[in-house]
Amino acid sequence: MTNISRRAIIASGIAGASALGASFLFAVNRLSGSGRDIADVFTTPLPMPPLIDGRDIGNVVTLEATAGTTKFQQGAASRTFGYSGSYLGPALRLHRGDTVTMTVANKLDRQTTVHSHGLLTPSDLDGGPHNAIEPGDVWQPFLTIDQPVATLWYHPHPHGDTARQVYHGLAGLLYVEDSSAQSLGLPTSYGVDDIPLILQDREFSAEGLLSYDNSPAAIQHGSRDNTILVNGAMAPRSEVPAGVVRLRLLNGANARNFRLVFADRRPMHVIANDNGFIAAPAAVSEITIAPGERYELLVDFSDGKLIPLLTYPDTSDSPEASLTPVLLFAPNGPMNSANQYIPKQLADAEFPAVAAAVRRRSFVLDGMAAANDTLTKGASAAGPPTDNGAMPGMDHSQMAAAGGTGLSGLDMGMKMGINGAPFDMARIDAEMKIGETEIWELRSTEMAHPFHIHGASFRILSLDGAPPPEHVAGAKDTVLVRSSAEILVTFKHKTEAGKPFVFHCHILEHEDAGMMAQYVTS
Ligand code: C2O
Ligand code: CU
Ligand code: CU
């Protein structure tokens, strides 16, 4: 089945729910077609990745990248990858000020790397494409944890094979902690009132097996589907205390954006994004999270009601709101902790002034590098960018037919680039001075691209020409570039010889096809 027809069928599960008006809550609480209630379907207890606290184990952390099998649905065992497990990896809690010895063993049959996304380290410890671990080898970075508390994550980053490895399960959370969450009165009991939600979409065969589409169409748009996993589970239910709960969201999808809303549109109080707490909680009724991004939310479940978290369809321009349930929250008993409130103030962010910028650079994220002409004929950039790259006048199956050979898009030499040039491990695209601040102007062609920088965090100055909303005002490492974005970025971290930092589109198929570049600092 092509992506589009499969998606249309699954998405029609709750079609017709109006985003406005009284029918909203009723409509989304039933899975139409089956006539079943979400409460009868969303019964799998939300799995919690095992928590490893660095201080409990002398700050010596061992991870093994391995192959295994995972049963996502009854009976069918899919071949998957995981870190020290069969799918995903443990949540690592590392403490600010500590030095951590990480030991990563590659038990896969292919080269891998382990990148700590959002962790600010020198480039030889960053785990990007220049830090390859060959099969059977071990990599041992010594990480000095020296940045504000934040929800980060780790995942493979081998050039040309990142999308497939992440898709099959290689990803895990990495928390930077100190005592600031406690002093702010935030929930901190892992898996109880401080809950990680790793959001992914995956495609399954009719037999219920995980399948990966790397056709030219899937490379073009990124791999996307409408079967949603949270912490590796389908149709999960999260038992939460009936109080204020902290949710740590990670979009761990290869390509899909999630535009999330509670079924009753209750407020989400955003307290942190990619690189830490924002200045003060910002209440939103829905939130869009792009691949690679993180948000932390406080949500009040004290009314004790079952409440589904939903996502809008994976497009920017859907005329009618058909919503897909992501997970069901089941408040259960009173809160143990005293954390029953939303703080007024969070962190004092220290950002350089815009006036401190010493230069501007501009980067165009180009999904249509010249080599793709034959694959994409007729799909010129006539319309406005769309969130999933659907081309005006061409659907997924036509895109697939344009490829037509059964070869993967990468095998066929599909290339994407930044400023017209596909990634080259041997080419340095930008040179900066340590301590300097720059303004980067980012532009997307044809579709929205989530842009990510290694080795630096930034502040968003504008999104599509407008000031950014409050909830994205803090320190970021990834930004969804719909048409354009301006960011203010300071380079503080050193690149070691032969190991530049990369920046890239976090649609992993785009990254693998070359929408990535690299910089050095001196
Ligand atoms: Cu999340 Cu270059 O990575
Ligand atoms: Cu990264
Ligand atoms: Cu992209």
- The residues spanned by each domain of the chain are 190-343, 354-521
pLDDT, one tens digit per residue, over 395-407 is: 344 444 444 456 6
208 DSSP 8-state letter:
S
- Which residue has the CA at smallest separation from atom 3 of ligand 1? 117
| Environment class of 155 (CB within 10 Å of its CB; exposed 0-12, middle 13-18, buried 19+) | buried
Q: Would you list the DSSP string of 94-111? A: EETT-EEEEEEEE-SSS-
pLDDT tens for each residue of 249-265:
999 999 999 999 999 99
Q: What is the pLDDT of residue 413?
A: 80
Q: Which residues are bridge partners to 101 per DSSP? A: 60, 142
200: CB partners within 8 A, 6+ apart: 228, 229, 230, 232, 252, 253
Ligand 2 centroid to residue 56 C-alpha, Å: 26
d(CA 194, CA 184): 14
User: CA 452, CA 357: separation in Å to the nearest integer?
Assistant: 19
* Spatial separation of the C-alpha atoms in residues 105 and 112, rounded to whole Å: 10
Say whether domain 354-521 belongs to CATH 3.40.50.300. no
Distance 513 CA to ligand 3 centre (A): 9
The distance of Cα 177 from the centroid of its chain, to the nearest Å, equals: 20
- Number of Cβ atoms within 10 Å of the Cβ of 360: 10
Residue 334 CA to residue 261 CA, distance in Å, equals 24
Asked whether 290 and 506 are in contact (CB, 8 A), the reply is: yes
**CA–centroid distance, residue 117 to ligand 2 (Å):** 4
Ligand nearest to the CA of 455: 2
Report the C-alpha gap between 82 and 25 in whole angstroms.
37
User: So what's the pLDDT on residue 145?
Assistant: 98
For residue 505, the SS3 value is: strand
The partner residues of 519 in beta bridges, in order of sequence, read 430, 501
How far apart, in Å, do the first and last CA atoms of the chain sit? Answer: 51
In this structure, which ligand is nearest to the CA of 363?
A: 3
Cα of 102 vs centre of ligand 1, distance in Å, is 18
Ligand nearest to the CA of 451: 3
Q: For 365-458, where are the alpha helices, taking DSSP H only? A: 396-403
Ligand 1 atom with the smallest distance to the CA of 118 is 1
E strand or H helix at 251 = strand 244-251
As a whole number of angstroms, the longest Cα–Cα distance in the chain is 62
SS3 content of the chain, % helix, strand, coil (to 5): 15, 40, 50
| Cβ within 8 Å of residue 36, ≥6 positions away | 30
C-beta neighbour count of 77 within 10 angstroms: 15
Closest of 64, 66, 88, 48 to residue 193, by C-alpha: 48
Which ligand is the nearest neighbour of the Cα of 449? 3
* Residues sharing a CB contact under 8 Å with residue 383, sequence separation 6 or more, in sequence order: 391, 392
Could you list which residues have their CB under 5 Å from ion ligand 2? 117, 454
Give the pLDDT confidence of 508-517 residue by residue, as tens digits.
999 999 999 9
User: What's the confidence (pLDDT) of residue 368?
Assistant: 67
The DSSP 8-state label assigned to residue 275 in this structure reads T
Distance from the alpha carbon of residue 61 to the mean position of ligand 2, in angstroms: 20
Distance (Å, whole) CA 323 – CA 306: 17
Q: How far apart are CA 512 and CA 510, in angstroms?
A: 5
CA distance to 311, 428, 442, 468, per residue, from 352 (Å): 35, 26, 19, 17
Q: Which atom of ligand 1 is nearest to the CA of 292?
A: 1
What gap in Å lies between CA 56 and CA 227, rounded to an integer?
A: 36
**Atom of ligand 1 at shortest range from CA of 503:** 2
pLDDT along the chain (522 residues), means of 10: 33 35 43 72 97 98 98 91 98 98 98 98 96 98 97 97 98 97 94 97 94 91 92 96 95 97 97 96 97 98 94 68 90 68 86 93 81 42 48 39 58 88 96 96 94 97 97 96 97 94 98 97 96
Nearest CA to ligand 1 atom 1: 117
- pLDDT value of residue 371: 46
* Angle 269-273-274 from CA coordinates, rounded to 5°: 160
Phi, psi of 245 (to 5 degrees): -120, 145
Please give the model's pTM, rounded to 2 decimal places.
0.89
Burial class (CB in 10 A: 0-12, 13-18, 19+), 351: middle
Q: How far apart are CA 192 and CA 180, in angstroms?
A: 19
Cα–Cα dist 123/146, whole Å: 15
What's the CA-to-centroid distance between 449 and ligand 3, angstroms? Answer: 4
Measured between alpha carbons, how far is 164 from 410 in angstroms, rounded to an integer? 12
Residue with tokens 């009976």: 75
pLDDT at 22: 33
What is the distance in A from the centroid of ligand 3 to the CA of 409?
A: 15
* Ligand 1 neighbours by CB, cut-off 6 Å: 115, 117, 155, 157, 292, 452, 454, 502, 504, 506
Q: Cβ(408)–Cβ(214) under 8 Å? A: yes
Residue 388: predicted pLDDT:
57
Q: Considering the domain 190-343 in this protein, what is its CATH number?
A: 2.60.40.420
DSSP 65-97: EEEEEEESSSS-EEEEEEESSSSB-PEEEEETT
**Token couple for 369:** 């590098």
